[in-house]
A and B are shown apart, each in its own frame.
Chain A
Amino acid sequence: MSEALGIFAAGTAGVFLSMMLLYGAMQISAAVITRWFEDKVEK
């Protein structure tokens, strides 16, 4: 049971952590593009 619980916790946290990092990467790339490369990207 403890292994299943570990996978449950690690999996749920892992998916959210991945999405948080992807969110951050999306925000940074949008900011960089807006600032230096493509003025047309609206906020």
Chain B
Amino acid sequence: MIEKLSTLIFTTGFVYLTPGMVFMWLIGLTLIFLAVAKGYEPLLLLPIGFGIVLANLPLAGLMEPETGLLWKFYEYGIHWEIIPPLIFLGLGALTDFGPMLARPSLIFLGAGAQGGVYIAFFAAHLLLGFSLQEAATIGIIGGADGPTTIFLASKLAPHMLGTCAVAAYSYMALVPIIMPPIIKLLTTATERKIVMPKARKVGRLEKIVFPLVGVLVMILLVPASAPLMSMFMVGNLFRECKVVERLNLAAQNELLNIVTIFLGLPVGATMNAQNFLRKDVIFIFILGLFAFIASTATGILVAKGMNLLSKTKINPLLGAAGVSAVPMAARVVHKMGQQADKKNYLLMYAMGPNVAGVIGTVTAAGIFLTLLK
């Protein structure tokens, strides 16, 4: 009887618990707390936090290759490039390119904000000795685009996927805290008061044509961006053509919600104690923050550069909206514009570089893939 009892005890997970696993539970529970109590990116941080807890339960085998449930979600969802593109399908259906089409020159702010991605890439490789693939994965955090970060990490540095995803979503949630000091540092009160000229009205046909033109141009230029870009644009075509409303609503709601569940859990589950409790992880978080700050800064500097070359001045705050944390970055820009001048409504203008930033980040990821894979 004692032998049987002993066998039973040794098949429980308690016996195999390590301090590292318990520490990872605390990290997972912290993310769940931040999602539930503070509302920080709850749609992603909650399942990621739960996934972290699950991945650190001994003997559960949820991330066991070939047999584990979460491993299957990871392998067939993320590694097979299915879930991030499906997220982009939903995002495309939610995106209004109208503000960008109304003032096309603002797309350069979306490009400018990718400068931080490459600066962080360079710093990660040169100063901290990360491999080129790892440095690219860290750099893309600066784009503030969670699915793109996950997509690139799964291709170039799968061992860093969980860490980079958590860093990206955490900083996206912290946009209202991180961005304003950088914006204030790089702009004057007079610049923040610049009122944007009234935007032109964009017709329906132009909105329908854009995803078709966009997909042709961007995929011909950077074929490696095709999985994300194609889904983004087809989702947007669903939205704008107005003849497939069921598909549009399904992409915006049911599909996006379902794939979000199957994205968050396995991403969290990649963060086991062995992978996560390394000194590199601290550097990844610091460099991710640096990438984010640098992207905000380069966006603003490009806006200021455009003002030097153009007669019509644009409010340099809009450059900060070039990071693709949609729509949070645009909202922060709008709020700061209103703090400078209550009559200054920048939200619709800021949405232009904001959605251009998504295209820019996908392009940057495609370029990394082309050059490094």
Contacts and interface: CB of A to CB of B under 8 A. Distances in A.
B368 A29 contact: no
Contact of B118 (A11, A30, A43): A11
A14 to B, nearest CB: 5
Given A11-B367, A29-B209, A22 B218 contact: yes
A19 B107 contact: yes
B121 A7 contact: yes
B155 to A, nearest CB: 15
Interface string B330-366: 0000000000000000000000000010011001100
Contacts, number: 110
Interface range for B = 35 or more
A17 B111 CA distance: 9
Contacts of B42: none
Q: Interface majority SS on B: helix, strand, loop or mixed?
A: helix
B205 A38 contact: yes
Interface string B205-218: 11001100110111
Contacts of A25: 213-214, 216-217
Interface stretch (B7-15, B196-204, B260-268, B270-278): B196-204
Contacts of B117: 11
Given A4-B126, A7-B132, A26 B213 contact: yes
A21 B221 contact: yes
Interface residues of A, number: 31
Interface in B201-259: 201-206, 209-210, 213-214, 216-218, 221-222
B125 A4 contact: yes
B122 interface: yes
B135 interface: yes
B202 to A, nearest CB: 7
Contacts of B166: none
A19 B132 CA distance: 24
Nearest to A1: B126
Contact of A15 (B114, B132, B201, B371): B114
7 contacts: A4-B125, A8-B118, A18-B222, A19-B356, A23-B107, A26-B101, A38-B206
Interface of B: 101, 104-105, 107-108, 110-111, 114-115, 117-119, 121-122, 125-126, 132, 135-136, 200-206, 209-210, 213-214, 216-218, 221-222, 356, 359-360, 363-364, 367-368, 371-372
Interface of A: 1, 3-5, 7-8, 10-12, 14-23, 25-27, 29-30, 33, 37-38, 40-43
Given A4-B126, A10-B367, 14 more contacts: A7-B121, A7-B368, A8-B122, A10-B371, A11-B118, A11-B371, A12-B115, A20-B108, A25-B213, A25-B214, A29-B213, A30-B101, A30-B206, A41-B200
